[in-house]
Amino acid sequence: MSSCSLQSLVSVREFQSIHNFLFSTADPEMESTWEIDGWGDDWEIERMDVDSSGGKQAAKGWMRECKVAISPNVDYMCISHQDKSVFLHNKSNASDGGSNSFEICWKGVLSEEENEEICYVLCLPLVSLKRTSHGSSEFICFMIGFTSGYLRVYTEAGCLLLSQIFHDTPITEIVCSTFDRWAHLSHGGAIEQKDEVTILHQDSTLVVVDGFSLFQTMRACRSQLAMAAASGTLAQEPPPLACRKWRLNLQSDTTSHVCMPMGEVTPFHRIMNYSLDHVDGQQGNVTLYATVGNAPFVAYYYADEGNTRPILSYVASVVANKLTKQASALISAASGWIKWGAQTATGSAPVPSEEVKKPQPKIAPSTALERHSGLPDTFRRGSKIVLAPGKRGLAALSDSLGRVCLVDLNTRSILRMWKGYRDAEVGFIRTYDDTPSHHRANTIRLSGTAKKLALFIAIYAPRRGILEIWSCIHGPRVGAFNISKHDRLLFPGHGMLGMNLEKSLGSQQMLQCCILTSEGNIKDIFIPFHLALSDSKSNKAHDVHLLKKIAQMLHTKTRDGEEILKLITEMRLCSIQKQALLKFLHTKRIGPTSFIKCISLLSDKYANGSKKEEKDFVRLLQVKQDLIEIYEQMSELNVEYKSPNRFTEWDSLSKKLASDLQLSENESEVAAKLMKKYKDASPSSTVRFQSQLDLSIDVAEFLACFSIEKDEELGYKVSIDEKKSQILGSFLFHSSLFGEVNSEQVVETIKKIKGISTQQKELLQICLLHWQEYECDVYGNHKKLEELINRLDWNTDDDQASLVWFDELKQQVISTSRYPLAAYITTLVIRSHLLSTKQQQQQTESKDESAENTEEAGVEKTEDKLEWETLCLDSEKWNGFMKQMEDSLALNTCIMLGNKILQTPTTSKDAATTADLCPLVSVHDLLTNGTGHPSELIASVLSKSHIHPSLVGMTSSLRDDCDVVGEDDLNEHQQKFIDELIYCRNHRFPFSLSPNFLHSHCFWEEMVKWNKNLQDLTGMKRGLVHLRLISCQPQIQRGLALMAWSTFIHKRILALGRLVEKVGKAPKERLCVKEIGVRDRHMSEFCECASELLQIIADADSDQFPQPATTSNNKLIHGSSEFQSVESNWLDIGGKESIVEMARKQSDVNYKLIQHLMNLIFVLRSTMEFSLRGVKPMTQLFDTFGRKAFEHELTSYDVHLPDCDVTTHTVLGARRKFINNIIETAVMKMTQQSHHDGGDQVNLNDLKEWVVTCIHMSGEFNLSKQQAHIHYIDLLYNHGLDELGAEELEGVSDPEVIASKLLLTVGQRFAFYLNHISPDVGVLIFAQMPTRVSTFINSQELDGLKKADVPLKDTLELAMKVSSILPDFDGEDSLAYQVVEALQAALDA
């Protein structure tokens, strides 16, 4: 709220019954008996309904005769009259919608002495010590002062907690001082206010009770009362209260008082006080007591707290102990004047005073306190004084002459005086600055940083029936309310007892000042903080605070436009009011009505302003008002919008395009065909629902789309904010582009914007951007777009400017668009618009030629001709751009078909996310990313769609002539993609999408894909297939392989070599993944692919490389036609080099180094394939020069390679051992394969290939191939693989060497056979053998034979082969023949 207000806080239920109880003259017990017996039911007496006005007045003003107190936390309330009291509790009523109201929790008579009446009441809540209820009250204490001098404390149930008499005169006033959090924070250097209760008696006696002692005593009494009620015994005596008692001299008829701790008085102030008042200054901590009364009007007393005062409670306890010793009967008498819980738990009535005579309580003497100073006024008597919250030392007092004075207690001077307030009731209200501040917003709650505070004084004049709010100290009146003359102003002036800074952080806001109406309603007085700045000298501070307040209100969810409008109008400075208006206008969910109302009020206010700032502000208001009116007009037009139906007229689309956009028959057919293909390839998710097409926007969003700048001629000029173009485009143009709204009405409405005539280009750009965003709805709406463009191009007189604008739009909007269909239609529309302009220009020129013949006319004719030529040249540019858009549309159609393949996976694992889809491409992308960009895009789709590489280079003729591998496995989407790819290659990009170009980019894309996921070698294998399929371009193959080797393979091969060298065997999976990134089970395949890559480099013949030549346009032409140039529509292409161009520029390679690296890869692959052990490839198989050569690039010729002729015997021996180890392992695997159902033929052939490779590598390692081959054959027969051995034996060039080894194998087998047959047969066979044969058989050792249990027939065949191989006239030849005869005899036996 922006002004003071009375807010309903809580109401009092049964208010009339409270009055009836307090002012009834009958005994309450008798009254209740009458009600029970039905006495008085027929009397029909209405006591208050009297005819005289005086009776009615008395009925309304009964509250002013009562003693009323309310707790600061608004939990409890007390209303007392004479000897009766009513305690009320604040409760929530579920039946009344959850509203709170005070309900009676106890009522009764409290007087215990004869003629004793209540003269003062106080509601004092005690803070809770529980952690779960941090900062809240635990229970309430009703402190009642009586005319007898007794102070009694009651609970909310009317149970007596404490009864004590400090002085025997009536209590005039009870004041409580508690901890004030905000006073502590805002006056950190001042002395802390201690909790204490001061009791003023009628004869100017002041009793000061320590707050801490009272807090502990009340808690103890409460606990004892609960325990006594539970056990049925008497409550024990509470601990004594710490108190002081002063006698205030030199003032008569003291009526009210306040106390304020002054802290330690400085020497300067002591000397000053002595010189002014001739009173010796006090030392130590001093407390100021200010009292009002008569003679003097105001008196000031300074109490030194350093002296020790007698404690009255201690004296009372001593007297009680003495009485206990004398007689037990006197205990009850002593409890009459020191009543610790006079009411017993059993509820028994007290002993009548006639039976036991009460002794008079002993009253402790008081200490005289001399008056320090005062304000004498003989005719003035003080009525009431209240202390302002905080530690500024301000107090307000009322007197008998109808004045209210504001007093500074520190200087003992009156700061301000108000007249005409008889019987005034005064209170203070402290407001806080609730606006956020950057330097304290985050620290208020945590550290308790002080807020900005403002102090107001509330004065209630009951005789006048007015409540006024004034700003302290010298501020104006900020509020006035006409209220009843019988209301009460309640000012508690204290908080909860026992509060401290830590507990106050979680406590609620205490009640400061409220009004209790005569109808029983309690109203809180609300004062905004900015009213403290109502002075004319605080205009800027006032407005800045309101600005913060407005900003805070605008950030809330529920925004009250009327309240914000009221705050804006209350501002005084034009500059700050302008800031507030701009904040207001940029806030959503308020509405144009409030905006218009605010602008109208401000315009009326500054209509006659003379300052330049005010005049500029009025112009700004007018511009804002015009924009809001345009917003309302456009909103009315958008209401008529209806969603368009789906376009279905595809058959007549070609004719419609030709007639509407001035296309030739061929051009229109091509356009219609491209549109239809694009529509079929578009995903179904582009369909928009009606809920997504809401054209209504908030007026604040509309205003934010425009930036207003000062202009010398127009005052203010409106320009369009580029960041808001999307919102503005939907609001302004959607209904006319895709609906039935007339575009002329839209453009005429837009023209009303002041200064918009210079924003044609921006408007056209916004229109085109919105057209492109709704690409799915553009079919058949090209005519509407053309109408809008014609109307937005309203400067038709300047054709050259229009050409420039359209050219800029082409570069900035159309060519960069990722909506190819919308951009293509836009190109056709603008081209048609330019052709229409050209035709109009030609008609104008023909008329000018017939009408003008003068020289000046000839000059103008020349100028017109130049303009016409410019227009023709620009039309040709648009024709070329149209061709580029056609190519781009066809390419994007192909990309979308590829994305459909990814969106319809065969398995759940193949599901592609949005990030995996290939993005669409613009013309600008094609022009700036090099000649290979189309191939890159298609290669990306091919890599993700898993189409067989052989289908990439398929053409229409090849497809018709023969079956292509993988074509039968294509699904519907893949088939459409291949068809569109063939169309793009044949008609759009014959060079950029040629087979070799695509294979090149596919190879690189697969290698990059593998590099991202090294665990999957599928990408590398597919890439090598693509690389092999590059035909007639060995230079490209070698260059790509060389780039892939240096980028992806080389470092990993060296890392694998170091790892095998380190562990001395095939490393485990953890090490392989850590060092290389490939699993151990895939490492052999990785080495095979690396070897194949090197083989491709080695197989490339540099003599077949084409020699480049230079054409007239400085383009490189190569031998193959598909690499000779780019497409004719893309001659201006630029940007990065393609992969193919980079491959051509690769240097020649060192073939010896390639072979050297292939040797290393063979070693590593063999180690990983056969899990060999004891292998040190770097140190054992290669010398120092060989190890260093591995680090060099393949194009390096200055590398020192090892010489085969000077290889050391150590290296040769290690190599021979390594080769033999591989062959032995392979033969062992062959043996295992042969034992499992004849073995797997594929694996057996692989093992044979391994052996062949080992024999070949023997030559590369400077070893004898024949020895390796002989060793292989010997191992085959040794393992019983006679068939494989016979096959290999035929290929040996020098069989005599192997024959001797095979003869030993025959002897071992024969010996094993003779040892395992029947002894009788064996003896017979031995007897028939020649001595030489038997000696040869007996000399054989069977340990070296891997498989001895071989059929004797196979052994005979082997012996016959050996005998045929061995040369004649050789000693072993005759032995072989004899062994054959022996074997034959054994076989016959």
Q: Average pLDDT, stretch 338-361?
A: 44
Distances in Å between the Cα of 1268 and the Cα atoms of 407, 849, 1203, 1219, 1223 are: 120, 100, 22, 8, 8
Given a cut of 50, is residue 439 above it in pLDDT?
A: no
Neighbours of 1146 (CB within 10 A): 19
DSSP 1382: H
Quote the Cα angle for 1228-1230-1235, to 5°.
100
What is the C-alpha to C-alpha distance for residues 539 and 570, in angstroms, rounded to an integer? 11
What pLDDT, on the 0 to 100 scale, is given for residue 943? Answer: 85
DSSP 103: E
Neighbours of 263 (CB within 10 A): 15
What is the C-alpha to C-alpha distance for residues 922 and 815, in angstroms, rounded to an integer? 6
What pLDDT, on the 0 to 100 scale, is given for residue 1284? Answer: 85
What pLDDT, on the 0 to 100 scale, is given for residue 1124? Answer: 45
What is the residue type of 770? Answer: H
What is the residue type of 231? Answer: S
What is the C-alpha to C-alpha distance for residues 706 and 699, in angstroms, rounded to an integer? 12
What pLDDT, on the 0 to 100 scale, is given for residue 351? Answer: 39
- State phi, psi for 400 to the nearest 5 degrees: -80, -10
Strands 76-81 and 84-93: antiparallel
What is the residue type of 1085? Answer: E
Contact between 1278 and 1347 under an 8 Å Cβ cutoff? The reply is yes
What is the C-alpha to C-alpha distance for residues 385 and 398, in angstroms, rounded to an integer? 7
How would residue 959 be classed by pLDDT, with cut points 50, 70 and 90?
low
User: For 540-549, 616-625, 1029-1038, 1142-1151, which range has the lowest pLDDT when averaged over its residues?
Assistant: 540-549
What pLDDT, on the 0 to 100 scale, is given for residue 962? Answer: 46
Higher pLDDT, 86 or 1114: 86
Distances in Å between the Cα of 4 and the Cα atoms of 61, 469, 529, 538 are: 26, 8, 10, 18
What pLDDT, on the 0 to 100 scale, is given for residue 187? Answer: 56
| Report for 142-151, 323-332, 717-726, 1361-1370: range of highest mean pLDDT | 142-151
Contact between 1188 and 1160 under an 8 Å Cβ cutoff? The reply is no
- State phi, psi for 370 to the nearest 5 degrees: -75, 145
| Report for 239-243, 874-878, 1347-1351: range of highest mean pLDDT | 1347-1351
Q: Average pLDDT, stretch 708-717?
A: 66
What pLDDT, on the 0 to 100 scale, is given for residue 169? Answer: 93
What is the C-alpha to C-alpha distance for residues 394 and 539, in angstroms, rounded to an integer? 26
Could you check whether the bond before residue 296 is cis, i.e. omega within 30 degrees of 0?
Answer: yes
How would residue 690 be classed by pLDDT, with cut points 50, 70 and 90?
very low
- Segment holding 892, helix H or strand E: helix 855-903
- Segment holding 1002, helix H or strand E: helix 995-1012
How would residue 37 be classed by pLDDT, with cut points 50, 70 and 90?
very low
Nearest in space to 170 (alpha carbons), one of 131, 203, 192, 138: 203
What pLDDT, on the 0 to 100 scale, is given for residue 1177? Answer: 87
Answering whether pTM is above 0.75, one says no
Contact between 165 and 147 under an 8 Å Cβ cutoff? The reply is no
Strands 715-720 and 298-304: unpaired
- State phi, psi for 1015 to the nearest 5 degrees: -75, -25
- Segment holding 386, helix H or strand E: strand 382-387
Q: Average pLDDT, stretch 538-560?
A: 79
What is the C-alpha to C-alpha distance for residues 970 and 480, in angstroms, rounded to an integer? 88
Reduced to 3 states (helix: H, G, I; strand: E, B; else coil), residue 717 is strand
What pLDDT, on the 0 to 100 scale, is given for residue 716? Answer: 67
Reduced to 3 states (helix: H, G, I; strand: E, B; else coil), residue 1306 is helix
What is the C-alpha to C-alpha distance for residues 1023 and 1005, in angstroms, rounded to an integer? 8
Nearest in space to 1360 (alpha carbons), one of 1309, 1319, 1308, 1299: 1299
Contact between 171 and 145 under an 8 Å Cβ cutoff? The reply is yes
Distances in Å between the Cα of 533 and the Cα atoms of 186, 468, 543, 865, 1340 are: 19, 17, 9, 73, 123
39-71: per-residue pLDDT in tens?
Answer: 344 433 333 343 444 444 456 788 889 999 999
User: For 258-262, 707-711, 814-818, 1281-1285, which range has the lowest pLDDT when averaged over its residues?
Assistant: 707-711
What pLDDT, on the 0 to 100 scale, is given for residue 117? Answer: 94
What pLDDT, on the 0 to 100 scale, is given for residue 1210? Answer: 87
1079-1106: per-residue pLDDT in tens?
Answer: 888 888 999 999 999 999 988 766 655 5
1266-1303: per-residue pLDDT in tens?
Answer: 888 888 888 888 888 888 888 888 777 777 778 888 88
Q: Average pLDDT, stretch 322-343?
A: 39
Residue with tokens 């196979």: 1354
Chain-centre distance for alpha carbon 1228: 64
Most distant CA pair in the chain, distance:
168
Given a cut of 60, is residue 501 above it in pLDDT?
A: yes
What is the C-alpha to C-alpha distance for residues 1016 and 381, in angstroms, rounded to an integer? 102
Given a cut of 80, is residue 1368 above it in pLDDT?
A: no
User: For 618-627, 890-899, 1166-1175, 1289-1298, which range has the lowest pLDDT when averaged over its residues?
Assistant: 1289-1298
What is the C-alpha to C-alpha distance for residues 1015 and 189, in angstroms, rounded to an integer? 72
What pLDDT, on the 0 to 100 scale, is given for residue 798? Answer: 59
User: For 709-713, 1080-1084, 1127-1131, which range has the lowest pLDDT when averaged over its residues?
Assistant: 709-713
Given a cut of 50, is residue 314 above it in pLDDT?
A: no
Helix, strand, coil tally for the chain in percent (to 5): 50, 15, 35
What pLDDT, on the 0 to 100 scale, is given for residue 396? Answer: 96
Chain-centre distance for alpha carbon 1002: 39
How would residue 908 be classed by pLDDT, with cut points 50, 70 and 90?
very low
Given a cut of 50, is residue 677 above it in pLDDT?
A: yes
Q: Which pair of tokens denotes residue 87? A: 């305690």
Instruction: Tell the burial category of 203 from Cβ atoms under 10 Å away from its Cβ (0-12, 13-18, 19+).
Output: middle
How would residue 347 be classed by pLDDT, with cut points 50, 70 and 90?
very low
What pLDDT, on the 0 to 100 scale, is given for residue 404? Answer: 96
Instruction: Tell the burial category of 847 from Cβ atoms under 10 Å away from its Cβ (0-12, 13-18, 19+).
Output: exposed
> Strands, E, within 394-526: which ranges?
394-399, 403-408, 413-419, 425-432, 453-461, 466-471, 477-482, 488-490, 514-516, 521-526
What is the C-alpha to C-alpha distance for residues 1194 and 1198, in angstroms, rounded to an integer? 11
Given a cut of 90, is residue 339 above it in pLDDT?
A: no
Q: Average pLDDT, stretch 772-777?
A: 82
DSSP 326: H
991-1028: per-residue pLDDT in tens?
Answer: 888 888 888 999 998 999 999 988 888 889 988 998 98
What sign results for the dihedral spanned by CA atoms 406, 409, 415, 419?
positive
Residues of the chain above pLDDT 70, percent: 78
Taking all residues of the chain, what is their mean pLDDT, rounded to a whole number? Answer: 79
515 has which bridge partners?
489, 523
What pLDDT, on the 0 to 100 scale, is given for residue 405? Answer: 95
Contact between 559 and 587 under an 8 Å Cβ cutoff? The reply is yes
Nearest in space to 1245 (alpha carbons), one of 1290, 1287, 1289: 1287
What pLDDT, on the 0 to 100 scale, is given for residue 316? Answer: 45
What is the residue type of 1046? Answer: S
Q: Average pLDDT, stretch 1107-1126?
A: 44
Given a cut of 60, is residue 334 above it in pLDDT?
A: no
Given a cut of 50, is residue 494 above it in pLDDT?
A: yes
Reduced to 3 states (helix: H, G, I; strand: E, B; else coil), residue 243 is strand
Residue with tokens 């402790």: 364
Given a cut of 60, is residue 26 above it in pLDDT?
A: no
| Report for 323-327, 501-505, 835-839: range of highest mean pLDDT | 835-839
Nearest in space to 1216 (alpha carbons), one of 1168, 1270, 1165, 1169: 1270
Laid out side by side, the sheet with 477-482 consists of 425-432, 453-461, 466-471, 477-482
Q: Which pair of tokens denotes residue 622? A: 């007018």
Given a cut of 80, is residue 444 above it in pLDDT?
A: no
What pLDDT, on the 0 to 100 scale, is given for residue 276? Answer: 57
Reduced to 3 states (helix: H, G, I; strand: E, B; else coil), residue 144 is strand
Could you check whether the bond before residue 473 is cis, i.e. omega within 30 degrees of 0?
Answer: yes
Given a cut of 90, is residue 383 above it in pLDDT?
A: yes
What sign results for the dihedral spanned by CA atoms 703, 705, 707, 708?
negative
